[in-house]
Amino acid sequence: MFLRNAWYVAAWSSEVNDQLFTRRILDTPILLYRKTDGGIAAITDRCPHRFAPLHMGKRRGDVIQCGYHGLCFDATGTCIENPVGNKLIPKAAKVASFPVVERDQLIWVWMGEVEQADTALIPNFGILSSPDWVHGTGGYLHADCHYELMVDNLMDLSHVNFLHPAFGNETMLASKSDVVDEGRKIHANLWMPNTDVPAFMRDSFVDQPRIDQWLDMQWTAPSALLLSFGGTTPGQAREAGIQGWAGHILTPETDRSTHYFFSMSRQGKGAEEAVALGFATQLRVFGTEDKPMVQACQDSMGDAEFWSLKPVLLSNDVAAVRVRRRLAELVKQERAAGVSTSPMSTV
């Protein structure tokens, strides 16, 4: 159950150049390449003749020639040449093209009805375009699990105490997220007053044993999450302390696998070192702690639908459950409106 009328991150800008880049999104193979004018083309990576992946073909300017029998497609997916036999171009010789927006170092594709593509629905990652922050971008992991299990993991940070003990503490364990619902946006704000200074902030609070700390997670439909984190001297404004942003963007590859894009942004003295360290830590922690656990949950669930297993709900599940229900509502609404579930719906 994918939400089709939505923007998904297909790749980091840095991943797509003049070479042919392929990535499966919502179970649809997509071919991405940077056109000669610098814009991004996104077309189905499957020739309509014998279904050869087009990324195995050749690029001639902005035209892609299939590597099997030579059909040529332009950046809109229209077949413009058939070099074989009578050289006629059958009407059906075309592939889908997808609306693309490159913004905030990310390449967003619209996977639904072309006429509904609304750039106002692109999740806001403007922080990644701000020159006032130092950014670590290009983070990518592949996980063998349904993307909603990864969203659950991020919307309920109570797992930190157990899965990442180096980052948790008693105050975090006892704190409860404040959930704010804004429709296509849901926030889980965790405020932890007078808590131990976590290791990654110790250099900034040398003589202080305690700080006020926050972890504010924001979900934007369908699966883009942005964490505001930081700490300050107890009782002082957040701005007076240490602040950072961590992007966690999930794109379904299939119903059992997920692309995980992540970033880190810091500000102020020592920001470069903090980003380098924070980014390396994210890669290690997500890759060796979150990913194996969430994949193991998926293996344990098999092909069963999440709610059919009657999961036990705890007080800290409020935000994650709210997100699941909102996503289900959005999917239901677009099904009721007749939006096709076909992965090739934009042909």
- Return residues touching Fe ion (CB under 5 A): 290
Q: Between 47 and 249, name the residue whose CB sits nearer to ligand FES.
A: 47
Smallest separation, CB 15 to Fe ion (Å): 24
Q: Which amino acid, one-letter code, is at 272?
A: E
Rule CB under 6 A: say whether 49 interacts with ligand FES.
Answer: yes
Part of the chain binding ligand FES (CB under 6 A), chosen from 49-57, 145-153, 164-172, 225-233: 49-57
Contacts for 55-63: CB closer than 8 Å, 24+ residues apart: 55/20, 55/21, 55/22, 55/31, 57/20, 59/18, 59/19, 59/20, 59/33, 61/36, 62/35, 62/36
Q: Which is nearer to ligand FES, 3 or 47 (CB)?
A: 47
Q: How far is the CB of 141 from Fe ion (least distance, A)?
A: 12
C-alpha–C-alpha distance, residues 22 and 167, integer Å: 36
Question: What distances in angstroms separate CA 41 from CA 35, 104, 155, 210, 318, one per listed residue?
Answer: 6, 17, 33, 51, 40
211 belongs to the binding site for ligand FES (CB under 6 A) = no
Asked if residue 200 binds ligand FES (CB under 6 A), the reply is no
Q: Is 69 in the site for ligand FES (CB under 6 A)?
A: yes
Q: Which does 188 bind (CB under 5 to 8 A by kind): Fe ion, ligand FES, none?
A: none
Cβ proximity of 80 and 63 under 8 Å? yes
CA separation, residue 196 to residues 161, 232, 246, 319 (Å):
13, 11, 21, 25
Per the CB < 8 A criterion, the answer to whether 95 and 47 are in contact is yes
List of residues 6+ apart from 44 with CB closer than 8 A = 28, 29, 30, 31, 54, 77, 95, 96, 97, 344, 347
Considering only residues 257 through 316, tell me which ones interact with ligand FES, judged by CB under 6 A. Answer: none
Nearer of residues 68 and 205 to ligand FES, judged by Cβ: 68
By C-beta, is 70 or 268 nearer to ligand FES? Answer: 70
Contact between 71 and ligand FES by CB under 6 A: the answer reads yes
Question: Which of the listed partners (ligand FES, Fe ion, none) does 191 bind, with a CB threshold of 5 to 8 Å by partner kind?
Answer: none
State yes or no: residue 68 binds ligand FES (CB under 6 A): yes
Query: Distance between CA 263 and CA 182 in Å, rounded?
Result: 24
Residue 64 lies near ligand FES (rule: CB under 6 A): no
Is the CB of 90 or the CB of 270 nearer to ligand FES? Answer: 90
When the beta carbons of 11 and 227 are compared against Fe ion, the nearer one is 227
Which pairing describes strands 185-196 and 40-44: parallel, antiparallel, or unpaired? unpaired
Nearest to 347 by CA among 43, 86, 132: 43
**φ, ψ of residue 111 in degrees (nearest 5):** -100, 10
Question: From the CB of 89, what's the least distance to ligand FES, in Å?
Answer: 11
Distance between alpha carbon 20 and the CA centroid of its chain, in Å?
Answer: 21
* Residue 24: CB minimum distance to ligand FES, A: 19
Binding residues for ligand FES, total number by CB under 6 A = 9
Cα angle value 328/110/101 (rounded, 5°): 135
| Contact partner, 290, from Fe ion, ligand FES, none, Cβ < 5-8 Å per class | Fe ion
- Contact pick of 13, 15, 52, 138 for ligand FES (by CB under 6 A): 52
By CB under 6 A, name the one of 1, 17, 50, 311 that touches ligand FES.
50
Helix axes 318-336, 147-155, angle to 10 degrees: 140
Chain residues binding ligand FES by CB under 6 A are 47, 49-50, 52, 66, 68-71
